Amino acid sequence: MHLDGAVLLVTGASGGIGKVLVPMLRARGAQLLLSARHAEVVTRQADDAGCIAIPADLAQPGGAAKLAAEARSVHGRVDGVIHAAGVGWRGPAQDTEPDVVDTVLAVDLAAPIALTNALLPDLVTVPHSHVCFVSSIAGMVGVAQESLYAAAKAGVLRYAESLRLELADRGVEVSAVSPAAVQTTFFAHRGAPYHRRHPRPLQPVRVATAIVAGIEAGGGYRVVPRWMGVVPRLRALVPGPYEWLARRMD
């Protein structure tokens, strides 16, 4: 996708990776529609950046469809969407309350799917439109105490892969980025701090850079940092030693 003049909707824009993305995309000439749950925060951010704010709570039923309709009404079209909104959860599976299950699956999996589907009528009419998904290393391999989050992010990756195959001949580009831990407020909001010595948390600008690179390259899949891409290969080649190592690192 050529970013200059493109109308892009960015979810999760008020913090973390999404917040860092905004000035990078603006510098390339993109017209941004910024969405986040906290209306005051995202509105102030949009005003400062010369963008349009569309507050939305993607955990609510119908939130994705409403956001798509409001985004379309601003410029009469949407050329691309970056799914940067996300919530996490860490804890024993048996301690996961039903409302937590509903929220994580709604924001991390159901909303990106619903929002993409709602925008596809626009995207298929635009040459080189783009859909970008922010997944996680947790979506590539199992993670103890993070089964719910890992399942949601794995679903995002399979959806992105399937969508890219399906839309390859219709002009819609699809990219996905799977970062390791990122140094944002994500861990504070999930209720448990990051506890591993390795890999060390990334600066969000590294992930944002990979997202922009994927958009400008016309799609594809990226792992950040790149060396973490060896993890699922290691699991496939030597599952026994991999599981032993994964248990020790938890």
Beta bridge partners of 220: 175
> Which residues have a Cβ under 8 Å from the Cβ of 170 and sit 6 or more positions away?
124
Which residue in 149, 194, 221, 242 is the catalytic one?
149
Task: Identify whether 221 is a catalytic site residue.
Answer: no
SS (H, E, C) 208-240: HHHHHHHHHCCCEEEEECHHHHHHHHHHHHCHH
Which are the catalytic amino acids? 149
